[in-house]
Structure formats: structure tokens, C-alpha cells
Structure 1
Amino acid sequence: MSPTSRLLRAVSCIALVWSASGQNITSLAPKKYLSIPLGGIRPTGWLLDQLMVQTNGLAGHEHEFYDYVSQTDWTGGNSYYSSLEEAGSYWFNAMVPNGILANNSAINAKTQNFLSYVLSRQDSTGWLGPEVGTTKPRYLWGRYPFMFGAIQMTEFNSSLTNEVVTALYKFVSLANTMLKSNNTGVEDWTATRWEDFVITLQWLYDNHPNGTASQALLVDTMERLKWTGVPWEKVFAKQYFPTAAVENTPNPFNLDLTWHGVNMAEGLKALPATYRFTHNQSDLDTASQGWDLLFQYHGRPSGIYAADEYLAGLQAARGTELCLVVETMFSGSYLYQIIGDPKFPDRVERIAYNALPATLTGDMWNRQYLQEQNQIYAGNMSKNPFPLDGPYSNVFGLEPNYPCCTVNHPQGWPKFITNAFVTTPDMLSLVHLYLGPFSTSVTLAQGNAVTANVDTLYPFSDTVTTTITAQAAFTYYVRIPSWVVGGTIAINNAAPKAVAPVNGLQAVTVGAGTTTFVLQLPAPITTESRPEGAIAVHRGPLNYAFDIPRKQKVLETNAQQPLAQDLEFDATSNWEYAIDPSTLKFSASPPSSGILPSPIFDSGLTPLKITVTACLINWAIAGPTFAAPPPTNPACTGPATTITLTPYGATKLRISEFPVFNSTA
């Protein structure tokens, strides 16, 4: 019996109980907040520059040379279309918003051609993908990222609506039939990632329901996907949740992929999506609990969690996959839209400003498969701390270990941007969720045309200035992060008043015409307890690390694109420091021009730093390539000195979980 068959047998009793309850739900529960269609939110300032760095880097050029997505005729081989099982689908999902937000005509032409090619070759059964006209098995999952990309294109360009919606309904009808026929099309990956198809079905239901029969088809397909897939309500339950690295722990679901890091990241969306058609509050409660458990037992100071293929516990040398980073960001945005808890955007913002840039070179031509919280070397490891991933995993390159992150990582910044604002379900209010430099234009209820321009260097500054123009009065909301202490707001040049957020949101009364307000969002330095008595250092959304000086070695250069190289980084100075947390001091050097250096997430370029008293200690290495766990209560081997910590996202070799000592003892 296959792992999937065992899993389906394990969950079949759940499905029978649910069916026996007599529920026949054909309506969807509303969201707490509504997303804004692609193009309605634009990056400005340093964030626009960051998107342009990505566009000018690997993400914006890989379709020109990278085997998985480089062929332009899509007739075979490793073309976009024949890779719709994963590579092309991932690429399309990421580059649709990247190209549109960057106003890149070449990328937009590629994504339009991709869409046209795929839809024009949909077969008579409704199937989308390279299996058309072949005897190759048809599995559902590979099409899901493609659907996300097609939806985004349709939101931006309404002339595509009929073509895309018609094609999706044809596919849904086929998928429903396949699920009725002994769950045809469900293999292990489909069994874990069913929630992405459910979200597509719900988009159709919300925006293009096509009558009662179609609504019933959509909901029935949602239900069938859930009951033929991983029971995420059990995976995220306390009694089953793993509290340490899982490589030696039997999986109770007979499908190891339930604890696979990227599947967990995508699976975070499952129960909020389920709630919309079950209307069960327990789905939301378990989703929220699962989020907390994930970060409690596997979380990182950089905001993300560890999974070097599978959940990896708390040790600082264990890895986090880049695909996992961007999928968790997207899931956190979705969780907020369904549940409305500010812990989700707080976490997503930390990930975006720490874990995402840390695993890419500043110019974004090179990416890792796995990043480490304490990373003293990036190269081909002679010994590595990752039980199931190869020794090349933390190389900064084109395709270290697996190719998935090369094509999937570009969704991170664009989707962070497109989820930075939401509206209330009644369309009466606009909510600014992720802090940073943005502009947005939206028409609220009663035709109230609103624009908001956010001028800020945040997270490299505590000041956020927002100018809103509206045709009619309304209430604007802006998120106040949980780490802010002593924040103030000054509206239309009035005296500053203390912020008073409710459920994380500060209400601002906006009149017809123009309203400007200035937020001051100071935050104290805080420390986080880590294993072995170590600590991590934070201020605001940023995690701080010691940026280990390094030298660079080119391991390989792509024959078609010389900028696509595999790079080894070697430390050129000591890194074995303990710190005295009582001596932490923050300072900022804002640029006189008001413009941050580019690319901002690179060594020595951010305007923020924290100094701390430190001393060298005996700190072992585990083989020549990674640090052992931080020693507890270490003794200094040299005099006290001062070292500088900088934002984690700008470091490529680093120590960010430090042993501690008392410099006055």
C-alpha cells in the first residue's frame, strides 16, 4: 500500500463522520479582510529599488538561459509548458506580479505568452499541462501555482477574464470527476498541497460563481480535496505536533511529507481555507495554534522556522529552505485575511526583512537552498548539519541542491507588496498592513476613490509618513507592530498623540480631500532566549547579527550567463564571540539624501547598527564547515572588545545566536 493510500485510509473515518453529520454547505464564510487586485498596490522608495534589483538579477533573467524555463517555443524538453508539473508553474506564479509591479515589458510578454500557450492547448477533457496527448499519469498539484498566476493576470487585465475563467471551470469539472474516480490525480504532493486548489476554487466562487450548479460543483470539489488530502487539523494538533527535529521521529500520518518544510508552509493555509466551507471555528483555532507551535518548536530569530527538508528543531546550524521562506510569507498574508490576528503580519514582516534577503546575495544573482542562523561558511561542505540535504545546500548559486527555489523564490517580494494593503469586507475602509514605502489606489464603497502614499525608510527608520487623498470621509487603519513602545501619531500637523491600536490597528479618521499623518514607531532593543543559554538580538522588525568578514571564491559559472555563478564564502576573521547583553547600544545614521544605498541588503550598507561588548571564547566547529551549538557559560579567552551587529538580512556569513558573558564580573 502506498503512503498516500495509507493516509487516505487514516482519514476516511473523518470524512465519514463529516458526511454523516448531514451538512450540505454551499455557501462560503466571508473573509475578515479582502485583498486588493494586482497592480492596485505599488512599491516606492527603497522597496521599489529592491524589486528592481530582483528584476535585474536572477529572477528577471532566468527565463533567458535556465534550462527549466528557458525555451521559448514550449514544444518539448524542459520548456515552460512541459515543466508545468512544477518549474514553469512556479516561475509563472512569481513572475506575473514581478513583471507587472516592475513595469517590465519583456517579462510581461513572456508571462502572457506562457498563459496563452497553456490555455490554447487545454485538451477536450479540460486537462492543463504537458500530459496532454500522452499516457503520462496526471497529477493535480503542478497546476496550482499556474492557477495563482492566471488569477493575478486576470485581476490586472480584465480582458483575460472570460478565457481564464472558462479554462478554470473546465479543469475543475475534470478534477471533480477524477476525485470521484478513486481519487485519480492524487499522489503524495497533491495530498499535502490541496489547499492551493481550494483557494483557486474559492476565488471562482467569490468572483465568478456562474450560478447555483457551478457553486455546488466548486464546494463539492473543495470538500473532496480536503477529505482526500492530508488532515491538517490533526497535523497541527498539539498531540501530534513534533517538538524537535523529526529525522528520528516516526510520522503518525504514514506520510513523511506532512512534516516537509515547504508543505508545512503551504499547509498553513489549509484550515483557514477549510473554514470557509465548513464554517467550523475549530478550523481557525487549530490553524492559529499550528502557527504558534511551528515557531515555538522550530522558529528562528530571523522570523522563519527551520526545515532542512523536514522540520529541524531549534539548533542554530540547522537549515531553512528558501521556498519555505516565500511560501510562509504568502500563507501568513492569507491567514490574516481570514482570521485577522495581527501576529500573522508581525511575523510576515520579520520574515520579509530578515530571512528573505539573508538567503540571497545583495544583487540577487545567487541564492541558497538552505540558510543557517549561525552560518560560518557557505560552500561545498565536507560535513554538513542537514540530514537529508546535500553538502552544496548553503552555496550561493544558481541551483544549489534542488532547482525549485530558483524558480519559486521570486514570488517573495511581489506578493509581500501585493498584500501590503487590504480592505474591510464592506469596502468602507482601507487597511495598511505591512509597513514600508508604498502607494495604493482603490475605490471603496459608494465610489469613494482613495489614494495613499507612504513615504518611509522603514524598517531602516522609525518614521512613517502617509498622505491620503479621498473623495469622501472614511476610516483608514494602519497596523502598529507589537514591538513598538511609545509610538505616536500626528495628524495634519497637530501635536503627536500616543498610538492606541485595537487588535493591532490604529484608526485614522480621514476627511474628504487630503490628510497627512506621521507615525513615530520606536522600539527597544530586546533579546530572545535560544538553546544552550544563547540569545538573539532584535530591535523593531529586525534581527541583528555579527557580519563575519569573508572572501569569495567562484565555484562554477553558467556557460550562457556569466552573472549566474556558484559562490563559496569563507570567513576571514574570528567569529567565536560571546556578548554582554547589558552593553547593547543602538545607533542610526540616516542618509542625508533620504535615499538608501542599493542594494540595501548587503554588507555594510544599512544605516542601522547595534554595538556590544564581546570577547573571544572557545567555540568548537562541527567538522570544518559549521559551528557547534553555542557553548553555555563560556570563559573569555581574550580581552573584552566592542563588535558591531547589523541587520541579519544584510549578512551572508553570520553569528546571530550568541553565548553570553558578564563583562563587569
Structure 2
Amino acid sequence: APLKPLQFIKLPVGSIQPEGWLRKYLELQRDGLTGHLGEISAWLEKNDNAWLTAGGQHGWEEVPYWLKGYGNLAYILNDPKMIAETKVWLEGVFKSVQPDGYFGPVNERDGRRELWANMIMLWCMQSYYEYSGDQRVIDLMTNYFKWQLTVDDSKFLRDYWENSRGGDNLWSVYWLYNITGDSFLLELAEKIHRCTADWTVDSRLPNWHNVNVAQCFREPATYYMLSGDSAHLAASYNVHALIRRCFGQVPGGMFGADENARMGCIDPRQGTETCGFVEEMASDELMMRITGDPMWAEQCENVAFNSYPAAVMPDFRALRYITSPNQVLSDAQNHNPGIDNGGPFLAMNPFSSRCCQHNHAQGWPYYTEHLVMATPDNGLVAALYGACQVKAKVGNGKEIVLKETTHYPFEETIAFTVDTKENVNFPF
């Protein structure tokens, strides 16, 4: 096959039912900011929203950022009200498709259509397809990617965010290719890598923005699945190590870049955005799937358990924009230039920033989806630890229920029970 196989394969959303503290966390998200953000976020206001109405006056990354976590939370908890709300937004996306294949709000700069917000929405679409099997997702993505292939390189992935984060687009192309096998998608994959910022450099990154580094270091490893060049895989390991060698000699798995990493600002008072935490977790989960390397599970757990919880209130009703390992202040003062970004960014605030306010939602749902994954030899792997029940087909296609019982990370005892109607052999 043209693409190298994933070492671990994510099960369809909803296959894993979390239990214990993790389920409680997800329920707190549902009852807190994630589940009720539409009631307070100006960016989720439905009236004149360009994600729902052609020509709407507002609509960019905020809706898909939120929906990425909200929708998956809905599917995992099988919450009818949340699923219905998710469909409202997705139906708006389906209705927005243009004859040339482009979808979503039409945001143009210098004659170029903006691509970044659509990258996020494509991930929402993939989760919806896993849940529903709706063929419209495949049609939308196929036509959109055909349009992308027609865009001249000089106008493709040129703006700052989309240029940095083209790897998210690349991953979606692979996802579709593994379903349809359409050969044009591999040509598009080459184009995306060619036009994306170069994250293969040894020491000088394209930029030092905390979310970009956390999100984009995986792009070369993603491209490695097509190129087969081990240097691309090594580049992702290098960027991950470089940012921590220079700015990350602190507990919690992250690095100091409070908006951007700056020379000399290396002590534990420097922080990271909440967006940075959840994007690092997502990158670690993808790197784990690409490589099978348990290092990425360790890294994901480090951020999930030791950094991300400090960025949100225990009831998930407020969050902080910037959180640092040694943070003794939680106020609404401007701490620039101590932190890079000027503003009241150390305070817990349900309205905190148009990005993190929405993007925080993906953290625990995505973590839950990666607790147990399939392996190419028709087995299962418990990749991240957490109490759960998993329905999956293993071996020669027999369905089992795997139950994982644990209070991890508060204790290190983990018990697995396999429930099967008949004898079955499978790697675990």
C-alpha cells in the first residue's frame, strides 16, 4: 500500500465507554463550559453565523474548535440533546458546500480562500462519519479535496495559521484515502506537505508559537507515512525534543511559550496556552498511532494529568488562557512582559480567549478515544490507562467486551477482563 500502516488504529467514537473519574470528568464538561458554551459565547451565536447562513457576518475557527470536542463528547456519552445540537451545525456545513467543492464561511485574503478553519471542521466530520456512517461526509471531503488540488501552490496554505498547521489537512486526506482509495488524494498529500511550513529543520523552527509547536511538530511524521523517509519521522522527534531542551526543563510535559517562546524566558514561571495543552495531547495521540512508541503515551499522560487540569476549574465552568508550572498568581492583571502576551491572561474566566474557550473541549474526549486501540494483527492495545469498557472485533472477527478496572493514575493496579461468547485468540 502507498501509505505505511498505523501501528495503532483508533476505534470508532463511542466504542469506548469511560468509567470512574474519567467519566465524571466528561460529565462535568457536559454540565459545564463545553456543554453550555453556546449560551455564553459570542462566536457560537447562531443568528448571522456564517457556519449556518451563507453570507453570515461572523464565523471562523471558534465553531469547529468547540464542535471538535462537543460532538465527540456527545457521541461518547450518547447524549441525545448534544447529538442533536451537533447535527444542527453539521447540517449547516453540508448546506454550505459550493459547486466547486469549497465549504464553510467564505473568508478571503488577497484572493485566497482561507483554509485553516475548514481543517478543524474536517476532523468534526470524520468523527460524525464514525458515529453515523453518513455518506455525505465522504462526498463533501472528496469534492473539497478535489478543489484543493486545483488551487495553485502560490495561493495554497499561504496564511500564517494554515501554513503552520497544514499537517491537520494532511491527516484528513489520509483518513479519506483509507476509505476511498482515490489516487488523487496522494497527489494532494504531496502538495500539502510541499506548501506547509517546514517542520523538518534542525534548530530554527518556522515559528515559536506555543500552539503551533505543540500541534505541528507531528507533520513530518504524518508525511513519513507516505514518503517512507525515516528522516521525516526523526524530524518530529527532533522538534519535540528541541522545544523542551530550550524552553521545557519543567514538570508537566510542556514548555514555556506564553504566546511565543522567547530567548531567556525559560524558567517555570513561563506558561502555555490551554490550547497548547490539548493540541499537545492530540499530537501525542497521533504520534502514538503512527509509531507505536510508548514514549508518546507517557508524554500524553504527563500533560493530561499534570498540566491540563490546572488550566480549568474543577467544575469545568471556567478556564485560564495561560498556565505555568510555578504559577502563584491567578488574577486579571496584565503580566506582560513577564509573559509574552499582554492582557488579563492568568485569570480563571469562562470568556477567556476566543481560541481556548472553545478548543479546550477536545482534551478529555480525545484522550478517552485513545485508551484502547486496535492493532494491525487484529488485536487490541491498552495504550492509555483508564477505567472503561470497550466493544471491539478481534481475531477472526469475533466481538468481545474488554473491561479495564483501575483508579490509575492514583494507583498503578490495572485489571483487564475479557467477556466473549466463545473461545477467541487475539494479541493483547
Q: TM-score range by the shorter chain?
A: over 0.9
The Cα of 1:306 is off from its aligned counterpart by 2.1
The 5-angstrom pairing of residues 175-324 of structure 1 reads: 175-180=148-153, 182-184=154-156, 186-209=158-181, 214-215=182-183, 217-234=184-201, 237=202, 239-240=203-204, 253=206, 258-299=207-248, 300-312=250-262, 314-324=266-276
Question: Would the alpha carbon gap of residues 339 and 353 (structure 1) be closer, same or farther in structure 2, given more than 3 Å must change?
Answer: same
Q: Distance in 2 between matches of 1:292 and 1:59?
A: 32
Q: Distance in 2 between matches of 1:67 and 1:463?
A: 45
Amino acid at match of 1:194: G
State the SS of the aligned residue for 1:378. Answer: coil
When the two chains are superposed, the root-mean-square deviation of aligned CA atoms in Å is 2.4
Question: Would the alpha carbon gap of residues 74 and 262 (structure 1) be closer, same or farther in structure 2, given more than 3 Å must change?
Answer: same
Q: What residue number does 2:393 align with?
A: 443
The Cα of 1:113 is off from its aligned counterpart by 1.2
Q: Is the 8 A contact 1:360 1:366 kept in 2?
A: yes
Q: What residue number does 2:123 align with?
A: 148
Question: Would the alpha carbon gap of residues 133 and 355 (structure 1) be closer, same or farther in structure 2, given more than 3 Å must change?
Answer: closer
Q: Distance in 1 between matches of 2:283 and 2:319?
A: 22
Question: Would the alpha carbon gap of residues 459 and 218 (structure 1) be closer, same or farther in structure 2, given more than 3 Å must change?
Answer: same
State the SS of the aligned residue for 1:28. Answer: coil
Q: Between Structure 1 and Structure 2, which shows a larger proportion of helix residues?
A: 2
Question: Would the alpha carbon gap of residues 116 and 292 (structure 1) be closer, same or farther in structure 2, given more than 3 Å must change?
Answer: same
Does 184-193 or 163-172 show the bigger shift? Answer: 184-193
* Aligned-pair identity (%): 24
The yes-or-no answer on 1:378 pairing with 2:330 is: yes
Q: Distance in 1 between matches of 2:208 and 2:373?
A: 31
What's the TM-score once normalised by structure 1's chain length?
A: 0.61
The Cα of 1:396 is off from its aligned counterpart by 0.2
Question: Would the alpha carbon gap of residues 134 and 101 (structure 1) be closer, same or farther in structure 2, given more than 3 Å must change?
Answer: same
Q: Is the 8 A contact 2:51 2:93 kept in 1?
A: no
Amino acid at match of 2:190: E
Q: What residue number does 1:533 align with?
A: none
State the SS of the aligned residue for 2:393. Answer: strand
The 5-angstrom pairing of residues 337-416 of structure 1 reads: 337-381=289-333, 383-400=335-352, 402-416=353-367
Amino acid at match of 2:347: V
Q: What residue number does 2:62 align with?
A: 87
Q: Distance in 2 between matches of 1:298 and 1:430?
A: 36
Q: What residue number does 1:336 align with?
A: 288
The yes-or-no answer on 1:164 pairing with 2:131 is: no
User: How many residues align structurally?
Assistant: 424
State the SS of the aligned residue for 2:42. Answer: coil
Amino acid at match of 1:288: Y
Q: Distance in 2 between matches of 1:201 and 1:350?
A: 30
Q: Is the 8 A contact 1:319 1:386 kept in 2?
A: no
What's the TM-score once normalised by structure 2's chain length?
A: 0.93
Amino acid at match of 1:440: V
State the SS of the aligned residue for 2:121. Answer: helix
Q: Distance in 1 between matches of 2:55 and 2:385?
A: 35
Amino acid at match of 1:56: D
The 5-angstrom pairing of residues 438-587 of structure 1 reads: 438-470=388-420, 471-477=422-428
Amino acid at match of 2:321: Y
Question: Would the alpha carbon gap of residues 472 and 365 (structure 1) be closer, same or farther in structure 2, given more than 3 Å must change?
Answer: same
Q: Is the 8 A contact 1:89 1:142 kept in 2?
A: yes
Does 148-157 or 375-384 show the bigger shift? Answer: 375-384
Structure 2: any 5+ residue segments left out of the alignment? none
The 5-angstrom pairing of residues 34-53 of structure 1 reads: 34-53=9-28
Q: Is the 8 A contact 2:318 2:348 kept in 1?
A: yes
State the SS of the aligned residue for 1:442. Answer: strand
State the SS of the aligned residue for 1:446. Answer: coil
